[in-house]
Amino acid sequence: MTNNISGWAALDAKQKLEPFTYDAGPLGLEEVEVAVEFCGLCHSDLSIINNDWGLSKYPVIPGHEVVGRIVAVGDHVKELKIGQRVGIGWNVNSCMHCHECLTGQHNLCLQAAPTIIGHYGGFAERVRSHWLWAIPLPNALEISSAGPLLCGGITVFAPLLIHGIKPTDRVGVVGIGGLGHLALQFARAWGCEVTAFTSNLSKAEETRAFGAHHVVSSRNNAEIRKVANSLDFLMVTVNVPLDWTLLLKTLKPNGRMHVVGAVLEPMPIPAFELIMGQKSVSGSPTGGPAMLATMLDFAARHHIAPQVEHFPLNKVNDAIGHLAAGKARYRIVLDHVGPF
């Protein structure tokens, strides 16, 4: 097999993607190469294409919600076989020997290598990763919609594990979009009583179908005040500034507001709201390989799946426009049908 890999790349910030071929060189001893079948389009792909976080390295081949089959394995890869179906998410590598890696928190490794920064991602015919970061997919999972679980899904699943959320807990989810509609499904299957906070009440029925017991308008402060002191855990999935003081009031004593949406503006958090009621504010980034495997297993068992819209990969710029316009319902998956 040739080491040339064709895909779609942004050659500079805010540019449309165009066909691009790179020489991937010899396969690393611990690497696998995956022929991509489906790849989710995540909001973080947009952020990296546009260099919103100042971290991008061009050319950028986006795509970090990869589903595909292994087509080559390095000489030191023992656990994965050619033909096996795997998923690759936000990271493709980590150091494997720091404290975080050794305790299964590889996503917190300071040397963790993102799939689409300084590495070419999944909007391509093939993509490479360290074998540990290529997560075997459960057979029961519907592969055409599984991609978004690998970044969007793990982002909202990990907090439930990290913070020991119990089935007796009452959980709120702020923002019912790509992340939020998955958070509702996970929290409901977890056994929690679930409250959705959405700016779009026209989606209330759909929101209940995803698992919300209650739907509250996030634009109506009086409605939010009615659920004051009711939640154990509030997951914020939006990336726009909100009235954080008001949202903190929805928490019970010992409650926690957990941020997974990349709000770029600093968040003013009043100390008094934390002190009275002993409340916490926290955040988390995706998850490590073990947590990814646990999430996929849980999703398969409870039939949790993102609601997706499909675009062929060669219409990737239309898909990006659709997402940037806020029209995605609720995640986008690119189908890797040739030719590239």
Rounded distance, CA 295 to CA 35, Å? 23
Q: Which of 94, 40, 34, 38 minimizes the C-alpha distance to 62? A: 40
- Using rule CB under 5 A, residue 44 touches Zn ion: yes
Looking at beta carbons only, is 90 or 190 nearer to Zn ion?
Answer: 90
User: Shortest gap between Cβ of 303 and Zn ion (angstroms)?
Assistant: 22
Per-residue mark of binding to Zn ion, 145-184 (x: CB under 5 A): ------x---------------------------------
Stretch that binds Zn ion, among 79-87, 91-99, 183-191, 292-300 (CB under 5 A): 91-99
For strand 331-335 and strand 18-23, is the pairing parallel, antiparallel, or unpaired?
unpaired
Shortest Å distance, C-beta 107 to Zn ion: 10
Residues 215-244: b if buried by 16+ CB within 10 A, e if exposed: bbebeeeeebeebeebbbbbbbbbbeebeb
For Zn ion, the closer of residues 95 and 293 by Cβ is 95
Cβ burial of 271 (10 Å; 0-12, 13-18, 19+) is: exposed
State the CB neighbour count (10 A cutoff) for residue 310. 13
Of 63 and 255, the one with the shorter C-beta distance to Zn ion is: 63
User: Is the distance from CB of 83 to CB of 70 less than 8 angstroms?
Assistant: yes
Q: Does 105 bind Zn ion (CB under 5 A)?
A: no
Does 98 bind Zn ion (CB under 5 A)? Our answer is: yes
Q: Determine if 109 is a binding residue for Zn ion (CB under 5 A).
A: yes
Q: Is 66 a binder of Zn ion (CB under 5 A)?
A: no
Asked whether position 135 contacts Zn ion by CB under 5 A, the answer is: no
Does 94 interact with Zn ion (rule: CB under 5 A)?
Answer: yes
Stretch that binds Zn ion, among 93-101, 118-126, 141-149, 168-176 (CB under 5 A): 93-101
In the window 195-234, what residues touch Zn ion (CB under 5 A)?
none
| Closest distance to Zn ion from the beta carbon of 139 (Å) | 24
Mark the segment that binds Zn ion (CB under 5 A) among 48-56, 108-116, 247-255, 311-319. 108-116
304 binds Zn ion (CB under 5 A): no
Supply 68's token pair: 């595909």
If binding means CB under 5 A, how many residues of this protein chain bind Zn ion? 8
- 211 Rama sector, left if φ>0, alpha if ψ -120 to 50, beta otherwise: left
**In whole angstroms, how close is the CB of 100 to Zn ion at the nearest point?**
5
Q: By CB under 5 A, is residue 80 in contact with Zn ion?
A: no
Q: Which stretch binds Zn ion (CB under 5 A): 3-11, 88-96, 238-246, 308-316?
A: 88-96
Tracing tokens 């710029």 back to the chain, one arrives at: 317
Give the CA distances from residue 271 to residues 40, 84, 245, in Å, rounded to whole numbers and listed in that order.
39, 51, 10
Q: How many CB atoms lie within 10 A of CB 272?
A: 10
331 and 152 in contact (C-beta within 8 Å)?
yes
Instruction: Report if residue 328 touches Zn ion, rule: CB under 5 A.
Output: no
Q: What is the largest CA-CA distance in the chain?
A: 63
Q: Extract the tokens encoding 20.
A: 């691009």
- Contact footprint for Zn ion (CB under 5 A): 42, 44, 94-95, 98, 101, 109, 151
